[in-house]
C-alpha cells in the first residue's frame, strides 16, 4: 500500500491524506456495530479533478473506494465492509454551486450536510 499512498499523496496536500491507524479507525465506526472495517487510506479531495485522479489510481490498483459525504451517515453506508480500501472523505467539498430560489432548488457539492 505504500506505493499507492505515495501516488495518492501527490494528488492532494499531505494534510489531506492519512494512513494513521487512529484516523483510519475513526472512519470505520458509526452507531451500528455491523459492517465495521478499517480502510487502508483516508483521503480528502477538494475538487472533482482530484477525485478523478484518485479513482483512476484506485482502479489501476484494483482497490475499493468508499465515498463519504458530509459525515452524517449513521448506519454503515460510508464505511468499509472489510479491512481494506480508500475512504474518499468529501467533507471538504462544501460549496453551494447553484441556488434557484424561484424553483426552491439548491445544487451543492457532496460534503454539505
CATH number at residue 18: 3.30.43.10
* Beta strands 96-100; 86-89: pairing state: unpaired
Alpha carbon distance 66, 53 (integer Å): 15
Residue 113 included in any domain: no
Cell of 38: 478499517
Instruction: Confirm whether 69 is domain-assigned.
Output: yes
Length of the chain (residues)? 113
Query: Does residue 26 lie within any of the structural domains?
Result: yes
Angstrom distances, CA of residue 97 to CA of 22, 93, 106: 33, 11, 8
At 13 the pLDDT is 87
Identify the domain containing residue 100 by its residue range.
2-108
Split into its structural domains, the chain has a count of 1
Reported as a single tens digit per residue, the pLDDT across 9-44 is: 999 989 999 999 999 988 887 666 665 788 999 999
- The per-residue pLDDT for 65 is 94
Amino acid at each position: 500500500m505504500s506505493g499507492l499512498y505515495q501516488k495518492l499523496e501527490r494528488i492532494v496536500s499531505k494534510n489531506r491524506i492519512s494512513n494513521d491507524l487512529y484516523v483510519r479507525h475513526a472512519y470505520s465506526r458509526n452507531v451500528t456495530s455491523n459492517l465495521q472495517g478499517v480502510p487502508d487510506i483516508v483521503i480528502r479531495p477538494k475538487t472533482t479533478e482530484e477525485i478523478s485522479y484518485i479513482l483512476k489510481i484506485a482502479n489501476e490498483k484494483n482497490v475499493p473506494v468508499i465515498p463519504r459525504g458530509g459525515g452524517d451517515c449513521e448506519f454503515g453506508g460510508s464505511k468499509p465492509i472489510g479491512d481494506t480500501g480508500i475512504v474518499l472523505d468529501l467533507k471538504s467539498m462544501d460549496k453551494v454551486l447553484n441556488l434557484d430560489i424561484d424553483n426552491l432548488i439548491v445544487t451543492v457539492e457532496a460534503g454539505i450536510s
